[in-house]
Amino acid sequence: MVLADTHEAGHRSEPGDPVIAGDQPMARPQGPALPPNPYRALGSPYLWRASVQLATDAVMGVAGLAVLTALGAAVCLVPAGLVGVPLVILAGRALHLLGAAERQRWSAICELDIPPQPRPALSGPLLASAAALARSRSSWQLVAYFGVLAPWSLVTLLGSALVWGLPLALVMLPAYYTQLPSGSASLGLITVGDLGTALLVSAVTLLLWAALAPLVVRGLLAADVLLARTLLALPRDVTLAQRVEYLTESRARVVDAAEAERRRIERDLHDGAQQRLVAMAMTLGRARSRLKGSGQDAALELVDEARASAQEAIIELRDLTRGLHPPVLTDRGLDAALSAVAARLSIPVDVDVDVAPRPSATVEGIAYFVVTEALTNVAKHAQSRKAWVRIRRTADRLAVTIGDDGVGGAKVSPGGGLAGLADRVSGVDGRLHVTSPPGGPTLIEVEMQCA
């Protein structure tokens, strides 16, 4: 029996819950199993840990029974007046604290990390807190867990006694059988009245214990783990839903960080390298003025070449920064930024943008990038006479449509430009669809989450 298994997902921690680093889903570590060889199993620390776990079930079972009894008594007092409501809340809080202690016991002894369950809000108004406790799925699971653990702990306690207590008494028989009132020990069909018989019983008991103890402990622990994972841990549907929610949020954080980094790079290029290139071009212009008429035609030619290269670098750098995140997009939004892009193209582009209220900077940046890349491809490859861009916001969705009257035939192929746009759109829970029959027209439709 494996003492530790994988835990499917993370948990949104409530006050008082064990905190998982980063509040993120974590996998439960796969723990070692009891060795199948009984003699090796006897030397395994996990046999002894499992035995301690089974023996201490009774302690938690008694504690759970006491809390359930108090909770039941408090519920019975509710119809008699509001005095029962605070008692219900106190008992419910004690129930969840006991559940947290039980998870700690599993983790400390058996290295089995059981994901904590969400706790109901019990710090508000009394009636609202009591209602939250009654509606809480985790509360009912804890009631069921400790309700089953109380009688089950008697089985594990008896099993521990049979595994350890009875064999120990028989193994030590040669040391004390003569001290018994009759001077011998009756073991059913066998009466131990001499040292040889006592040693034989001790040896047989030791061999049987070495062979059977790991199997009994393995079976009892398997049932114990099943009970804990069924009623003490989060249900699988809840853990999967929480994992999907966490992955969605973490993906959004990654996309936001990437867009923020693009904006930072744009600012650094605009305020740093671009300004230095402009200053260098101006300096070269002054140098050319001083060299003009000096007869140093070779030097003048070199200055002209350097100045032309600087101006080309400035143009390329401006184009690069516009592709990253232009300042006009931050300052004035999509309408102004895309109108500036359309004005630079060689074909007429009709831009129609209505996105009030403005979406987040991340969504704006992705929409700008998609439209810019699509229009660049139209100008280079579509052989079209005109293009159009239409952007609308409806509730929490942003719809972007880019069209042209070109030759058509565009498709989303792996590694292609449209596939890259689709990947970038998917980062904000978006979808990209391309309609481009041969002969045109071509429509690129994008829908993104922008709440």
Sketch the domain layout of the chain as residue ranges: 21-234, 251-325, 329-451
Phi and psi, residue 81, nearest 5°: 155, 175
Distance of CA 322 to the CA centre of its chain: 35
User: Is pLDDT of 280 > 50?
Assistant: yes
Greater model confidence, 68 or 234: 68
Percent of the chain's residues with pLDDT above 90: 13
* Digit-coded pLDDT (tens) for 318-333: 666 555 567 778 788 8
Average pLDDT over residues 429-440: 86
Phi and psi, residue 219, nearest 5°: -65, -45
Would you say 317 and 277 are in contact if contact means Cβ atoms under 8 Å apart? yes
With cut-offs at 50, 70 and 90, classify the pLDDT of residue 10.
very low
Would you say 114 and 233 are in contact if contact means Cβ atoms under 8 Å apart? yes
* Average pLDDT for the chain: 77
Instruction: State the greatest distance between any 2 C-alpha atoms of the chain, in Å, as a whole number.
Output: 133
β-sheet bridge partners, residue 404: 387, 442
Would you say 197 and 159 are in contact if contact means Cβ atoms under 8 Å apart? no
Which tokens in the block code for residue 43? 């030397």
- Which residue pairs, CB below 8 angstroms and at least 24 apart, start in 10-13? 10/115, 10/239, 10/242, 10/243, 10/246, 11/115, 11/116, 11/117, 11/118, 11/234, 11/239, 11/242, 12/118, 12/242, 13/116
User: Is pLDDT of 378 > 80?
Assistant: yes
Contacting residues for 379 by C-beta, under 8 A, at least 6 apart: 345, 346, 347
β-sheet bridge partners, residue 33: 2
Greater model confidence, 293 or 377: 377
**What's the CATH number for 329-451?**
3.30.565.10
For helices 236-268 and 297-324, the axis angle rounded to 10 degrees is 160
Q: How many CB atoms lie within 10 A of CB 356?
A: 7
Average pLDDT over residues 388-416: 87
User: Is pLDDT of 257 > 80?
Assistant: no
User: Is pLDDT of 16 > 70?
Assistant: no
The predicted model scores a pTM of 0.49
* Digit-coded pLDDT (tens) for 177-196: 777 777 777 777 777 777 88
| CA gap 6, 222 in Å, rounded | 15
With cut-offs at 50, 70 and 90, classify the pLDDT of residue 82.
low
The pLDDT of residue 12 is 36
Q: What is the CA radius of gyration of the chain?
A: 38
The pLDDT of residue 6 is 33
The pLDDT of residue 28 is 42
> Residue 54 class from Cβ within 10 Å (0-12 exposed, 13-18 middle, 19+ buried)?
buried
The pLDDT of residue 35 is 64
